[in-house]
Amino acid sequence: VYPDKQTASVKVAERIARLIQRKQEAGEQAVLGLATGATPVGVYEELVRLHQEEGLSFQNVVTFNLDEYYPMLPDAPQSYVTFMNENLFDHIDIKRENIHIPDGTLAPEEVAAFCLNYERQIEEVGGLDLQILGIGRTGHVGFNEPGSAPNSGTRLVTLDDLTRRDASRDFGGKENVPTKAITMGIGTIFKAREIVLMAWSGKKAPIIKKAVEGEVSGEVPATYLQLADNVEFVLDADAASELT
């Protein structure tokens, strides 16, 4: 628990930078699982600063994003492709071919094969070294909404009504928020060698309490993380304020 999200975000960015450098020294790739939304913005800002001012290179970095709305055009302002370009990828030296984000433009009959291939691509590069997560007020991680199975893989899901309401500002009304998304599964996330879940502000305090102290249940998918031993929650004081 850190006093504020700026301090916490810098810590997480430093942890990512150390991983990248350790892998560089070993002549290996660092495989990162990335999240979008408001939560990781400060981490990406610090990573960009480390690149621009302190020479951190992303040449050996491979990324897999957690999720994308479906359907979604990559150049739409709300797409997670646009988000990642604006907040991180356009400002660092990552190789474009090393970036993976679920494809919101697939025909319905192409989705299943795409999802299986996403899992295969993660495995082919040796699995995720570090997955970063935010948490939705439904308790979702990625877009694994209540009802998600602990062994779920990458798949097409239906978004919870609360999730669509929370996204409505970006889309100019809930009715414009897609009803579906492609997301890595709980099982995909669990295979990462390290998992860092971040949450800031009192708005997240009730769901953080449930995720950390509540009964493990598919009703609050983030509670599954209680069963992982390689997971760390990084919180600001307000998000942690309901923990006993």
Judged by the rule CB under 6 A, the positions of this chain that interact with ligand F6R are: 35-39, 66-67, 134-136, 140-143
Nearer to ligand F6R, 51 or 140 (CB): 140
**CB of residue 26 to ligand F6R, shortest distance in Å:** 29
Minimum CB separation from ligand F6R for residue 204, in Å?
A: 7
Q: Which residue in the shown chain puts its C-beta closest to ligand F6R?
A: 134
End-to-end CA separation in angstroms for the chain: 13
In the complex, what is the shortest distance from the CB of residue 74 to ligand F6R, in angstroms, rounded to a whole number?
Answer: 15
Nearer to ligand F6R, 13 or 60 (CB): 13
The rounded distance, in Å, linking the Cα atoms of 88 and 243 is 32
Pick 129 or 166: Cβ nearer ligand F6R? 166
- DSSP one-letter code for 237: T
Residue 145 is among the residues annotated as catalytic for this protein: yes
Pairing of strands 67-70, 194-199: unpaired
Shortest distance (Å) from residue 67 CB to ligand F6R? 5
Catalytic residue selected from 119, 124, 145, 213: 145
How many C-beta atoms surround the C-beta of residue 132 within 10 A? Answer: 24
How many other C-beta atoms are found inside a 10 Å radius of the C-beta of residue 184? 29
Residue closer to ligand F6R, measured from CB, 60 or 204: 204
- For the residues of 56-105, what is the DSSP string, one character each? ---TTEEEEESEEEES--TTSTTSHHHHHHHHTGGGS---GGGEE---TT
Catalytic residues: 145
